[in-house]
Amino acid sequence: MQDVPLTVTRLLVHGTLVHGRSRITTWTGEDEPQVRTFAETGARAVRLANALRDELGVRDDDRVATLMWNNAEHVEAYFAIPSMGAVLHTLNLRLPAAQLTWIVNHAADRVIIVNGSLLPLLAPLLPDLTTVEHVVVSGPGDRSALDGSAVRVHDYEELIADRPTTYDWPELDERRAAAMCYTSGTTGDPKGVVFSHRSIYLHSLQANATESMGLTDRDTSLVVVPQFHVNAWGLPHASFMTGINLLMPDRFLQPVPLAEMIERVRPTHAAAVPTIWQGLLAELTARPRDISSLAQVTIGGSACPPSMMEDFDKLGVRVCHAWGMTETSPLGTVARPPAHAIGTDEEFAYRITQGRFPAGVEARLTGPGGERLPWDGESAGELEVRGPWIAGAYYNGPDAEPLRPADKFSEDGWLKTGDVGTISADGYLTLTDRAKDVIKSGGEWISSVDLENALMAHPDVAEAAVVAVPDEKWGERPLATVVLREGATADFASLRAFLADEGGVAKWQLPERWTIVTAVPKTSVGKFDKKVLRRQYAAGDLDVTRL
């Protein structure tokens, strides 16, 4: 067989030629969205690569960062930068300034491509960015914020205008770096994960598999998951492989514009974290829209409450659960029920799992003593995985050895996910908690996720997060943090009774401590930020009622 490298370049060329009529629609907030074909996007990516090389001097392995929303220009950068041999580094625009500064310096980014609307975020950081030489501004924004900066400033459209329309793409080693993304740094400094051309190509095959997202050029995917969050779950790369049309929301991520996008552009698929869908569900409940085109949504990032899945079923929208993390590129499992369960009482039980492992992801469960646990659907342990799109180490900066901390990688090289759960005999993963979030009460484990899902099934509850707090008698007990819907009348006693009567929660697992908040704190990627809640409780900042 011929040995042809699996590279991002080949995805770019294939999508441009074979799926040239597929479209990227970028929402602008105006009457007409911006529409570009894959052929036009590919041509502009060629011009961007020429500009980066000839005008900015970008060479092999140079890091080119993006501080951008989901839009067509960001897709151009996705393909131009790795294809020319450089490394795409997507910056999480929701991280604190100090973390962003640390990440840019640690990665040694030479260039930052930024949306004009994000200049107020970037400009104050520039004096502390020691390796950045160029800033390329895409779209409208107040450039005066960059006045006096030591970096060279370029306009994106002016930079790529009149550039050559061909590029002699290098034949790259498929194992060399194509892109990098940093974890959100919930503990310690953020950690860099470097994706190879090979891992991106193979992950694209998995994303397009029928038992995964299974999309084609007849589909349009509303990509709400940020492009800075694990390469938008691989959708831009997967789209150039199979011609999936993309609907990019840019900075318009609120429920009202998202509902309008679905109604006007008519996507068949969408991908986002549960908090996005909770907001959209509330908007659709208050102001119904025609969302009949939306056949399925992929939900990942954190567990989707079964009650929300049922609510979307009533709207004719099929929710498909998925699990993954930055280190897994990210798709690790997708919850497509097996054939024998379709149309039976078992089907929903499969849908609310995290999903089945594909052939490219090997999995095992490890008990607290290091013992290997069986796939029996009952034995709970920490999930460990390995595979061709699973990280084997963290990036440790220029000219430094990769990091393989013992709490993140086993001695034989498996990734320790930090997730606790069970695996059924037929390979379906059910996560019961994060190892750091599980509540250890009197020597027994209580799943914070199970309590949250049960609480969010109550009609008066918009959001609920449960964390472990110290208890003199039991070691730890659950604290239930609740966001009530507007006009709700439920009190803590009735919510506790609901958990017992409707949620089937055992009496010893029921929370005694309760508090109401206006919103659950979120991480930079939209997950519940439980460390903030624990810190607020310890500081006495929460108004806690004890039943």
**Domains in the chain, ordered, with CATH?**
1-21+32-196 (3.40.50.12780), 437-546 (3.30.300.30)
Higher pLDDT, 78 or 476: 78
Q: What percent of the chain has pLDDT over 90?
A: 83
Per-residue confidence band for 189, with pLDDT thresholds at 50, 70 and 90: confident
Number of other residues whose CB lies within 10 A of the CB of residue 187: 10
Task: Supply φ then ψ for residue 120, to 5 degrees.
Answer: -60, -25
Per-residue confidence band for 94, with pLDDT thresholds at 50, 70 and 90: confident
Choice among 26, 66, 183, 353 that is catalytic: 183
Residue 324 has pLDDT above 90, yes or no: yes
Cα 392 to Cα 457: distance, rounded to the nearest angstrom: 39
183 is catalytic: yes
Query: What tokens does 528 get?
Result: 């519940």
Choice among 440, 444, 502, 508 that is catalytic: 440
Cis ω on the peptide bond leading into residue 164 (within 30° of 0)? no
Sign of CA dihedral 534, 539, 541, 544: positive
Residue 193 has pLDDT above 80, yes or no: yes
Q: In 3D, which of 223, 229, 176 has the Cα closest to residue 200?
A: 176
440 is catalytic: yes
Cα 317 to Cα 314: distance, rounded to the nearest angstrom: 7
Residue 252 has pLDDT above 90, yes or no: yes
Choice among 327, 382, 452, 463 that is catalytic: 327
Entry pTM: 0.86
Q: What is the pLDDT of residues 477-502, one digit of tens each?
A: 999 999 999 899 899 999 999 999 99
Choice among 102, 169, 375, 445 that is catalytic: 445
